């Protein structure tokens, strides 16, 4: 396994170098604008390079996940359309329609359906029956767009994806599902080179790359595929459906809060803006690397809580209402962030003044 993962790591690095040259040639680059404040044009090939490696892994080990060829087909379509979106800025309605179609294909040909949501009211599992198909579509579309929304600062999407896939790998390992553990590990090893180049490590900003919509959509789709496979397999399930919420808590909470805020303002729920968690932290004075560290620390704590709760069989209803409480608190903070910003900045100024007086 170590040799395979090292090979994936190297192949991912090499793929990034190859595809970034192709991207520059065909103008598959991200240019700065009112929302994007990076320097210069940056190739949008992170997702393409990472998932070419992951696709190759599944072609060699097709029994790793259920319906692996179906997964590859769906993910390939999303990747291709994502590349077209990166190049030509496709209408969101068209992309949303495609995501719904992909959800249907996954359900009817792969059998991956959100049949139950755990014992969220205590007692027995809540069976969704036919409503499960609607909830599956919401889950797939939601996951795809949640991971797309968090792709706002260097390293963040890759790091949050790594946290989620690592957490999934741990739970699959604890449930003796070695193939799925290996797949999650392979994805992590394929993503790490992207994170390094996205952060300018070790070759500097000259070789910087972005994930692009192609990568973020496929990451979201892969996450929801594994969450469904891990939680909807009956007696073979590796974790509760409620635990799944904690493994991707930050993308989920940020997406839900953002959509609520935009609807209240009378805007489209999917209209881009600069009011995500990472934007807010930067307005509070944190640099991009400190913002990355803070968000990833919170995400790791929440995912760890989910894993520990799963290990110790914490009741689903406690986990569910605990998550809802976190979501409400998060949303209230984000809805009133300007008040918190004023208070925090005032507090920081007082601390600086006190520190200056002590020095004098």
Residue pLDDT, tens place only, 316-345: 999 999 999 999 999 988 887 777 677 766
Closest CA to 195 of 181, 206, 184, 211: 211
Percent of the chain scored above 90 by pLDDT? 55
pLDDT at 348 over 80: no
Where is pLDDT greater, at 79 or 278?
A: 79
Backbone angles phi, psi at 70, to 5 degrees: -65, -45
C-beta neighbour count of 91 within 10 angstroms: 9
Closest CA to 154 of 215, 87, 211: 211
Q: How confident is the model at residue 355 (pLDDT cuts 50, 70, 90)?
A: low
Q: How confident is the model at residue 39 (pLDDT cuts 50, 70, 90)?
A: low
Q: What is the pLDDT of residue 326?
A: 95
Q: What is the pLDDT of residue 170?
A: 97
Query: pLDDT, tens digit, for every residue of 258-272?
Result: 888 888 877 777 676
CB 194 within 8 A of CB 216: no
Is the C-alpha dihedral spanning 199, 99, 233, 149 positive or negative? positive
Measure the CA–CA gap between 160 and 196, rounded to whole angstroms. 14
Q: What is the pLDDT of residue 356?
A: 63
pLDDT at 35 over 70: no
Query: pLDDT, tens digit, for every residue of 56-108?
Result: 999 999 889 989 999 999 999 999 999 998 888 888 889 999 999 999 999 99
Cα-trace Rg, the chain: 21
CB 240 within 8 A of CB 315: no
Phi-psi region of 114 (alpha: psi -120 to 50; beta: other; left: phi over 0): beta
Cis peptide before 202 (omega within 30 of 0): yes
C-beta neighbour count of 235 within 10 angstroms: 4
- How far, in whole angstroms, is CA 10 from its chain's centroid? 23
pLDDT at 149 over 80: yes
Query: pLDDT, tens digit, for every residue of 199-247?
Result: 988 777 788 899 988 899 999 999 999 999 999 987 688 999 999 999 9
Q: What is the pLDDT of residue 279?
A: 79
- pTM, to two decimals: 0.91
The average pLDDT across 180-189 equals 95
Where is pLDDT greater, at 96 or 360?
A: 96
Measure the CA–CA gap between 287 and 18, rounded to whole angstroms. 31
Measure the CA–CA gap between 168 and 307, rounded to whole angstroms. 9
Cis peptide before 277 (omega within 30 of 0): no
Measure the CA–CA gap between 55 and 50, rounded to whole angstroms. 9
Per-chain mean pLDDT for the chain: 88
pLDDT at 33 over 60: no
Q: Which DSSP symbol is given to 238?
A: S
Instruction: Find the DSSP H helices in 175-206.
Output: 178-198
Measure the CA–CA gap between 24 and 16, rounded to whole angstroms. 12
Q: What is the pLDDT of residue 315?
A: 95
Query: pLDDT, tens digit, for every residue of 103-142?
Result: 999 999 999 999 999 999 987 889 998 999 999 999 999 9
Where is pLDDT greater, at 270 or 189?
A: 189
What 3-state class would DSSP assign to 30? strand
Measure the CA–CA gap between 78 and 12, rounded to whole angstroms. 20
Q: Are strands 42-43 and 29-30 parallel, antiparallel or unpaired?
A: antiparallel
Q: Which DSSP symbol is given to 127?
A: B
CA dist 108 → 12, 102, 105, 229 (Å): 32, 10, 5, 14
The average pLDDT across 18-40 equals 72
Query: pLDDT, tens digit, for every residue of 300-311?
Result: 999 999 999 999
Measure the CA–CA gap between 277 and 157, rounded to whole angstroms. 13
CB 135 within 8 A of CB 112: no
Where is pLDDT greater, at 347 or 156?
A: 156
């Amino acid at each position: 396994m170590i040799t395979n993962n090292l090979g994936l790591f190297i192949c991912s690095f090499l793929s990034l170098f190859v595809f970034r040259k192709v991207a520059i040639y065909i103008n598959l680059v991200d240019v700065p604008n009112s929302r994007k404040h990076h320097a210069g044009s940056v190739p949008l090939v992170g997702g393409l390079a990472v998932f070419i490696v992951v696709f190759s892994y599944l072609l060699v080990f097709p029994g790793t996940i259920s319906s692996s060829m179906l997964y590859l087909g769906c993910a390939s379509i999303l990747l291709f359309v994502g590349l077209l979106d990166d190049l030509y800025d496709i209408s969101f309605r068209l992309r949303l329609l495609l995501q719904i179609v992909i959800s249907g294909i996954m359900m009817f040909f792969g059998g991956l359906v959100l049949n139950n949501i755990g014992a969220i009211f205590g007692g027995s599992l809540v069976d969704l029956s036919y409503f499960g198909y609607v909830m599956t579509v919401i889950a797939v579309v939601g996951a795809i767009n949640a991971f797309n929304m968090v792709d706002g600062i260097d390293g963040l999407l890759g790091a949050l994806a790594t946290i989620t896939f690592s957490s999934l790998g741990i739970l699959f390992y604890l449930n003796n599902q070695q193939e799925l553990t290996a797949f999650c590990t392979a994805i992590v090893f394929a993503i790490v080179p992207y994170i390094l180049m996205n952060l300018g490590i070790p070759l500097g900003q000259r070789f910087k790359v972005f994930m692009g919509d192609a990568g973020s959509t496929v990451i979201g789709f892969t996450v929801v595929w594994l969450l469904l496979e891990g939680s909807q397999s009956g007696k073979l399930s590796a974790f509760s459906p409620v635990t799944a919420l904690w493994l991707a808590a930050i993308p989920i909470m940020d997406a839900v809060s953002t959509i609520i805020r935009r609807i209240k303002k009378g805007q489209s729920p999917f209209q881009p803006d600069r009011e995500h968690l990472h934007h807010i932290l930067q307005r509070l004075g944190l640099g991009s690397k400190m913002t990355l560290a803070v968000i990833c620390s919170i995400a790791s704590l929440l995912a760890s809580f989910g894993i520990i709760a799963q290990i110790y069989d914490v009741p689903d209803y406690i986990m569910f209402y605990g998550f809802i409480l976190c979501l409400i608190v998060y949303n209230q903070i984000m809805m009133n962030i300007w008040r918190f910003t004023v208070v925090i900045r005032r507090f920081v100024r007082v601390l600086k003044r006190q520190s200056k007086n002590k020095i004098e």
